[in-house]
Chains A and B, each alone.
Chain A
């Protein structure tokens, strides 16, 4: 049974700061990792995915994966109030289609 752990938060950061969201997982066979953003009352939307160890940058977002330590993180630079949302970590195993989601970390960016 795959487990995905996230700090539920809320994580509060001031506007313009870097927000760091972390996720650990139990299954070493996990291959693909995803970050979804979910605004209150809305459905999740994909913001980043990462398959290989290291960093992947997309605009203000950077995903970091360390398979040896079984963690994946999301950094949001120059945080904006519009980034305030719950961030869900998700993963799947090799050849697997089934995504396992964490319970999410609630981020609040304070103006």
Chain B
């Protein structure tokens, strides 16, 4: 596709449920990032994938968070046993060769009740 595609755009869930967020990067972009943005706050780095290298998971806030990416394609961010503090917009971005020129998707807005 022409841009980074994320789904779902909105997700409302109950506390304790698991959620899965999907990101389809720009074709040919080897780098893929997940960021979290709480209301009125800046972007918080979560995880980074570059090609077939081991991902940088240093930003994941707890072991309830995990992410996968197959090759240079789709990535999935999974949040288990959701908590209210997980409510945020989850932004995916891709980049050509990790040069810092990130292209963001429209985000997945997660609301945990």
Contacts and interface: CB of A to CB of B under 8 A. Distances in A.
Given A43-B91, A43-B106, A103 B42 contact: yes
Given A43-B91, A49-B101, A98-B48, A88 B42 contact: yes
| Majority DSSP secondary structure for residues of A touching B | strand
B41 interface: yes
Given A97-B98, A102-B42, 9 more contacts: A43-B106, A44-B43, A46-B102, A88-B43, A98-B45, A99-B45, A99-B100, A101-B35, A103-B42
Q: B35, B42, B102: which has the most chain A beta carbons within 10 Å?
A: B42
Interface of B: 31, 33, 35, 41-43, 45, 48, 50, 56, 91, 95, 98-107
Interface of A: 32, 34, 36, 42-46, 49, 88, 90, 92, 97-104
Nearest to A99: B100
A90 B41 contact: no
Contacts of B35: 101
Contacts of B105: 43
Contacts of B103: 46
Contacts of A34: 100-102
Given A43-B105, A46-B103, A101 B43 contact: yes
B57 to A, nearest CB: 12
A44 B103 CA distance: 8
Contacts of B101: 34, 46, 49
B54 to A, nearest CB: 13
A98 B42 contact: no
Q: Name the 9 nearest CB pairs between A and B, nearest first.
A: A97-B98, A103-B42, A43-B104, A101-B43, A92-B100, A32-B100, A101-B42, A43-B107, A44-B104
